[in-house]
Chains A and B, each alone.
Chain A
Amino acid sequence: MSTEVADNTSDTESPATYKVIGTRPVRHDGADKVTGKAVYTDDLHVPNMVFGAFVRSPHAHARIVSIDTSEAEKMPGVLATCTSADLPDPWDKVDNLGEGCVNYAHLSGNVLARKKALYKGHAVAAVAATDSYLAQEAARRIKVEYEPLPATMSVQDAMKEDAPLLHDELITHTLGEEPARPSNIASHIQFEKGNIDEGFAAADVVIEREFKTATVHQGYIEPHVSVALWNEDGRLKIWTATQGSFVVRQQMAELLKMPVSQITIVPCEIGGGFGGKISVYEQPVAAVLSRKCGRPVKIMMQRDEVFEATGPTPASFMRVKLGATKDGRLTAGNAWLAFDAGAFPGGVIGPGAMCVFSCYDLPHATVDGFDVVLNKPKTQAYRAPGSTHVAFATECVIDELAERLEIDPIEFRLNNAAKEGTRRVDGPVYPRVGLVECLQAIQNSDHWKSPLTGPNRGRGVACGFWFNCGLKSSVTANVNADGTVTLIEGSTDIGGTRTSIAMQLAETLGITAEDVIPQVVDTDSVGFTDVTGGSRTTFATGLAAHEAALDIQEQMVEQAAKIWECSQDEVTVVNGVYQGNGKSLPFKELAVEADKVGSPIVGRGAVDPQGSTNAFAVNLVDVEVDPETGKVTILRFTVCQDAGKAIHPSYVEGQMQGGSAQGIGWALNEEYFYGDDGHMRNASFLDYRMPTCYDLPMIDTIIVEVPNPDHPYGVRGVGEVPIVPPPPAIANAIYRATGVRFFELPMSPPTVWNAIKGQTTGD
């Protein structure tokens, strides 16, 4: 355990060439959030509001024979009930929600079960009542008759020929010939590059291993919560905790078959998301209940509902095979990946398959990926969705190859690292990327240079990749009479993006971060903006803010020319200072003058940057394993990441540290325990063991800045990739501490203890 406060400031940040970017101002919403004034959805008390509660399936798989709501409806204070019959017949339409696609038939069936309940906790009905206790009591009085069916709980079992089928008509979507019979395999993805036989033939060493990972949850502290108000004029308003107000609007419009213009989504402050607050759950149900009772309806999930009935990220079963020459060059790779999609098709196997070899320049590779349905909640994105799973497999095999070849694990990775011009197995060729720089920064770190001594201790290293995306963002920026700028945006702020976006506007205009007043507004008050996800917000909404600033600058030049009685061509702008006709004013003072003489100055920015900005991270971790208990203690942890450009370094570090902590939890403790009945046995924060303060050391950060050529300030986005490398880095460290390689997550004390015991007794 680290006893000293290590200096975790970056040592490779570029020299300050900016006035605002790279500084660490206090976040704009800071005072609200440290005084308890910030308004999260559950803090709302909308006048005349009532409360909803769900009825959920007690079975992992069951036919719904009948639902009788009559007894509940007779209770005084019960105002409405709702089942899937109250939702329009869903259409089989696939839509892009920014980070991942959704099939609305599946989504509707997940919101409220139709013919079958497909997992324990699947919502079957709901009720609204005048208080929340009454709603829960009424939910217990709704009688559902089930015909239980055999359940299938692991990808290996679900893929078997004789497995119980979840969906009678599910035919595997594949590049090859479609199978004649339905199965639980929703899709089979294949990638191929070069000639794999040739590649493995050229290898001196080939290692193939099989890996398993457990279902894990994003674990945001705020449960899912919404208030819906369906007015008598047909307009629907929803206050909700979401990563993307516009994608909630889009999902509501499709599920309820109404135009988007009839729906307003108000994004409240959000208490964490990590990919789990994109899909809708309670929103459509609250809306239908509100329509039926004519009053605003609040539904907040209990914590066990969040675990059992929202979207954790998949369990997986993977085989990875890699070959290398004696001099340390990778020659070929083959991956076979099966991810659990949960109860409906469309898990995160796609990105998983794309990421499996994404850190390396592999001349020959094939990847087979399978999306498998089973009787668990529909899986969703969780921070770099799919990439953490596959990094665990690949980075452990890479480590074993390096060891077998007697090559330093960082050198081996450097020999083969993806760089500009490397073609990924799924096709794209990388532009300038920063993996080599991250590996070198780790090599140059004090951590790497400090030897680790003592018994039962080991050091591990691993790399991780995530695409990062662009997508649509809009902002409006209003210049105020005092020269400040109000920035209106649609990106919900989960981790300080109000400030990182405002700082880019400020930099472009030559004002301070404090001179910008960022506001996150509802879907009627700003242009379309995709989710806060995909590590895109500081990149894409920041780009929109930069555009809005340039728009403002153009209008300011126009006004300056008027005030100074010169032509616009004669007005120059340098570092936010406007000059013309022998006169000179900084932005703020000119704005005060401009306000007196012309029309208001309003800037607009609307962007849709394409492609990936390609984030890489590298971890270096020291562990100590207690041979008596199997408990793994993280002694020292360094995360290095290419941020492109760190706009607000503190919040970049925060993303790196928070992602690392989630990766550590995934590596060492977190998992859904299922009983034979398909029930989750640990649906509470006490038993689903996320890291506490006491479980972790300080997390040292090294920010590398290899600028993204497609952003004016070089931003790549930072949110997701830090979760990727911790599990393999820790597995590789545990190996060096114990001599045992681990192929299964989590590496919890019983697993580690059993493995050590097996080794010493020869079991």
Chain B
Amino acid sequence: MKTHVTTTINRATVEFLCQPRQSLLEVLRDELSLTGCKEGCNNGNCGACTVMLDGLPVDSCLVLAVEAEGAVIETVEGIAKQGHLHPLQQCFLEGAALQCGICTPGFLVTAKALLEKNPQPSEQEIRFGLAGNLCRCTGYDKIVRAVQATSKASPES
């Protein structure tokens, strides 16, 4: 028995059928081919599956897909617009803020949400804001710096 769900994903209306037990992560990846969000733990510990759900960053592995009815979702695939990388993506590249890259989509979604809420965060606010996302490669130094660089370059500064 599948449930029909209508959502907005990356600014487009998307309909899908899902089992009640399927997580949003599973539907995004397996049904909608939005494989940018990653499964690292499937229990909300690592943040690799972070997506925006109605304006808040959430671990999509902890959201049931049926709960997404009527929701507005943005995934990492929706961050770059009209063929242009978002400044945050650009700063991640220029600042070498990724190594293996598996956690990168989650960090980008979380960091973008952080900067939208607080365009000029302190280092501590950045570290607190990103603490739900695990990275095992970088030691976070260059990730924090990339967020700082994005913030410095933004029009508000």
Contact = CB atoms under 8 A, between A and B. Distances in A.
Interface of A: 1-3, 5, 8, 24, 26-27, 29-31, 33-40, 42-43, 45, 133, 218-223, 269-274, 300, 302-303, 494-496, 648, 650-651, 653-654, 657-662, 684-686, 690-694, 696, 698-699
Interface string B72-105: 0001110110000100010011111011111111
A613 B92 CA distance: 31
A34 B77 contact: no
B100 A698 contact: no
B140 interface: yes
Nearest to B41: A303
Contact of A35 (B41, B80, B140, B143): B80
Interface in B15-34: 21, 29-30, 33-34
Interface stretch (B1-9, B62-70, B126-134): B126-134
A1 B124 contact: yes
A34 B93 contact: yes
B40 interface: yes
Question: Which among B48, B102, B135 has the highest number of chain A CB atoms within 10 Å?
Answer: B102
Interface of B is mostly: loop
A618 to B, nearest CB: 17
Given A8-B141, A657-B139, A694-B127, A36 B102 contact: no
A34 B108 contact: yes
Given A3-B124, A34-B108, A658-B138, A693 B131 contact: yes
Contacts of B38: 40, 42, 221-222, 271
Nearest to A656: B139
What is the size category of the interface that chain B forms with chain A? 35 or more
Question: Which among A273, A654, A693 has the highest number of chain B CB atoms within 10 Å?
Answer: A693
18 contacts: A3-B122, A5-B123, A34-B85, A35-B85, A36-B77, A37-B36, A40-B38, A133-B21, A221-B134, A223-B40, A271-B40, A303-B42, A650-B95, A654-B138, A662-B139, A692-B140, A693-B130, A694-B127
Question: Which among A8, A30, A269 has the highest number of chain B CB atoms within 10 Å?
Answer: A30
Contacts, number: 193
A660 B141 CA distance: 11
Nearest to B107: A693
B128 A694 contact: yes
B99 A685 contact: no
Contacts of A29: 101
B153 interface: no
Contact of B139 (A221, A222, A658): A658
B37 interface: yes
Interface of A is mostly: loop
A657 B142 contact: yes
A651 B99 contact: yes
Contacts of B75: 36
B45 interface: yes
B93 A494 contact: no
Question: Which among B34, B76, B140 has the highest number of chain A CB atoms within 10 Å?
Answer: B140
Given A35-B79, A36-B75, A133-B21, A699 B100 contact: no
Given A31-B85, A658-B99, A221 B123 contact: no
Given A3-B123, A5-B145, A270-B100, A690 B134 contact: yes
Given A3-B124, A271-B100, A654-B137, A223 B142 contact: no
B137 A694 contact: no
Considering the complex of A and B, which 5 residue pairs feature the smallest CB-CB distances, nearest first? A36-B36, A271-B102, A661-B139, A650-B96, A657-B139
Contacts of B98: 30, 33-34
A659 B137 CA distance: 7
B47 to A, nearest CB: 9
B40 A35 contact: no
A719 to B, nearest CB: 10
A39 B48 CA distance: 15
B133 A693 contact: yes
Given A219-B136, A221-B135, A658-B137, A34 B100 contact: no
B40 A303 contact: yes
Nearest to B140: A693
B150 interface: no
A268 B100 CA distance: 11
Nearest to B46: A685
B29 to A, nearest CB: 8
Contact of B127 (A37, A659, A693): A693
Contacts of B104: 33-34
A302 B135 CA distance: 18
A36 B105 contact: yes
Nearest to A652: B96
Contacts of B42: 302-303
A361 B140 CA distance: 36
A748 B108 CA distance: 31
B127 A496 contact: no
B43 interface: yes
A296 B105 CA distance: 28
A221 B48 contact: yes
A272 B96 contact: no
A210 B45 CA distance: 35
Given A36-B35, A223-B40, A303-B42, A690 B100 contact: no
Contact of B100 (A1, A24, A220, A659): A220
B41 A684 contact: yes
Contacts of B39: 42, 223, 300
A656 B140 CA distance: 12
